[in-house]
Amino acid sequence: MAHLMNINVPQTLLKKISKNIILEEEDFLKVCKIFRQEAKDGLNKDKTKRKSLQMENTFVRHLLDGAECGDYMALDLGGTNFRVLLCKMRNGELRETKVKNYNLEKEVLRGPSDGVFDHIANSIAKFLTEFNIQNNNIPLGFTFSFPMSQFGLNKGVLVTWTKTFKCPDGVGKNAVEMLEDALKRKKVTKVKVVAILNDTTGTLLAGSYLDHKCSIGLILGTGFNAAYVENAANVKRWGNEEMGDTKQVVIDTECGAFGDNGSLDFFKSEEDFLLDKHSNHIGSFTFEKLFAGHYVGDLVRLHLKSLNSAGTFLSEPCEALKQWGHFNGRHVTDIEKGHNVEEILQNLLKVKVSKDDCLIARYICRAISIRCCQLVSAIILELGSIMERNHVTVAIDGSWYRHHPKMKSDMEKILKEFDKNRVYEFILADDGSGKGAAFVAAVATGLEKD
For residue 270, CA distances in Å to 265, 267, 275, 302, 394 come to: 10, 10, 9, 9, 32
Does residue 370 sit within a domain?
no
Residue 93 domain flag: yes
DSSP symbol at 174: B
The pLDDT value given to residue 11: 78
CATH of the domain at 179: 3.30.420.40
The pLDDT value recorded for residue 80 is: 86
Torsion angle (degrees, nearest 10) of CA 355, 359, 360, 365: 140
What is the model's pLDDT at position 7?
A: 81
- Asked if residue 289 lies in contact with residue 279, where contact means CB atoms within 8 angstroms, the answer is yes
One-letter amino acid at 11 equals Q
Residues annotated as catalytic (active site), given as ranges? 163, 199
Band (pLDDT 50/70/90 cuts) for residue 280 is confident
Mean pLDDT of all residues in the chain? 93
- Crossing angle of helices 435-449/199-210, nearest 10°? 80
Task: Check if the beta carbon of residue 28 is closer than 8 Å to that of residue 401.
Answer: no
pLDDT of residue 60: 95
At 240 the pLDDT is 62
pTM of the model as a whole: 0.93
Q: How confident is residue 2, by pLDDT bands cut at 50, 70 and 90?
A: low
What gap in Å lies between CA 52 and CA 164, rounded to an integer?
Answer: 26
Question: How far lies 169's CA from each of 59, 109, 127, in Å?
Answer: 26, 11, 27
Question: What's the number of domains the chain is made of?
Answer: 1
User: Is 327 domain-assigned?
Assistant: no
Q: Does the pLDDT of residue 70 top 60, yes or no? A: yes
- For 446, phi and psi rounded to 5 degrees? -60, -40
Instruction: Give the model confidence (pLDDT) of 194-213 as tens digits.
Output: 999 999 999 999 999 999 99
* Structure confidence at residue 63 (pLDDT): 95
- Is 353 inside any structural domain? no
Confidence at residue 449, expressed as pLDDT on a 0 to 100 scale: 54
Sheet containing 56-57: give its strands across. 56-57, 248-252, 224-231, 214-220, 391-397, 423-428
311-334 per-position pLDDT tens digit: 999 999 999 999 999 999 999 999
Which residues constitute the domain of residue 160? Answer: 59-208+431-445
| 3-state SS assignment for residue 143 | strand
In a domain, 125, yes or no: yes
Look at residue 120 and tell me if it is in a domain: yes
Q: Does any domain span residue 249? A: no
Residue 283, in any domain of the structure:
no
Q: Is the pLDDT of residue 140 over 60?
A: yes
Q: CB under 8 Å to 169, separation ≥6 — which residues?
A: 112, 113
Residue 311: the pLDDT is: 92
